[in-house]
Amino acid sequence: MALRNDSLVLRLLAGGTATYVGWQLLKSPLRADLIGQVVLVTGSSRGLGLLMAREFAREGCRLAICARDEKELEVARRDLEGRGAEVLAIPCDVADRGQVEQIIEQVTAHYGRIDVLVNNAGIIQVGPLETMTHEDFENAMAVNFWGSVYATLAVLPQMRERRSGRIVNITSIGGKVAIPHLLPYACAKFAALGFSEGLRSELAKDGISVTTIVPGLMRVGSPVNAFFKGRHELEWTWFSLGSATPATAMSAERAARRIVQATRRGEAEVTLSWQAKLLRLTHDLFPGATADILGLVNRVLPDAGPEDTEQVRGMKLATAVSPSPLTTLMNRAAQDTNQFGGRTEPSPEHANQIGLESRSIAE
């Protein structure tokens, strides 16, 4: 009886191994080198987008970068060219379908094709539900969801014609587990994640690989360009704390390298940071308990106060909060990834300027 069971186990192992090897062979065309590939990264003037562009450049890719702020985009272009990259920089608001379709045409005309599309552009609003308006939800959806849809649908015809291409969608652990005080962001990321997973299933027959990236917190200095509502300084403090220390957030450079690796391999989905993996596992195993715990977390987060719906750019708050080890870490990460638009420190004048620009775009 024992021999029979051992034989069955061996056959199952052999069958599983053969299936795995066969699957890897079928996927092998997607594992080709990225040298010479044309990569368009949206939202790449700063932060994770800029770091990914640097990593793709190291792989020998030709780059197209886009963002709304022309000055920040120019700083990013010089940064990448200084590292030996071939770069085309085009201003674009991904919430505008016409602008997105135009940039796809411009990049294709310049390079002849687009091999890899990385949908990275995003915005985030931080604050309790009471301070959020219909426009906050609409703006989050416009950039975080529709921006990815517009770019993907615009690039698909050429990828289908060649029967090759890669699409990488940067979502968030907030698209798996809704975190309090980030509701518009979570809604948009849930939608983006569903779009990305469905794309992979439908485009596999066309030879197009779709990779879903699910990042947790990263040390990239992004809070300085987030929008805060309610008790602004208190919201800034808790949100910044989570993304400033090695104990709570992943190295953004390491995250960028892992994303490029996943792109090269054609992986289906990658969750970045052990903290995000733990939160996701806990939520999957105990969804009710996780929701209850997050309800308790919400109780200790700042209340709405006078229910101030005015949004304040994080960069302005970075100049208002007293210097501390937290702000030092934050500023260092922000400076390394062009969060200050080429400046070496937060500037209230710059914060006011880009705040006004962002509001005019939203309007």
Q: How many CB atoms lie within 10 A of CB 70?
A: 13
Question: Which amino acid appears at position 342 of this protein?
Answer: G
Active site residue 185: yes
Amino acid identity of 43?
G
For tokens 């990828």, the residue is: 159
Tokens, residue 46: 């700063």
Contacts of residue 345, Cβ cutoff 8 Å, sequence gap at least 6:
331, 335
Marked catalytic residue, from 20, 111, 150, 185: 185
Q: How many residues does the chain have?
A: 363
Q: CA separation (Å) from 263 to 51, 104, 113, 310?
A: 14, 20, 17, 39
166: β partners:
116, 209
| AA letter at 265 | R
Residues with catalytic roles: 185
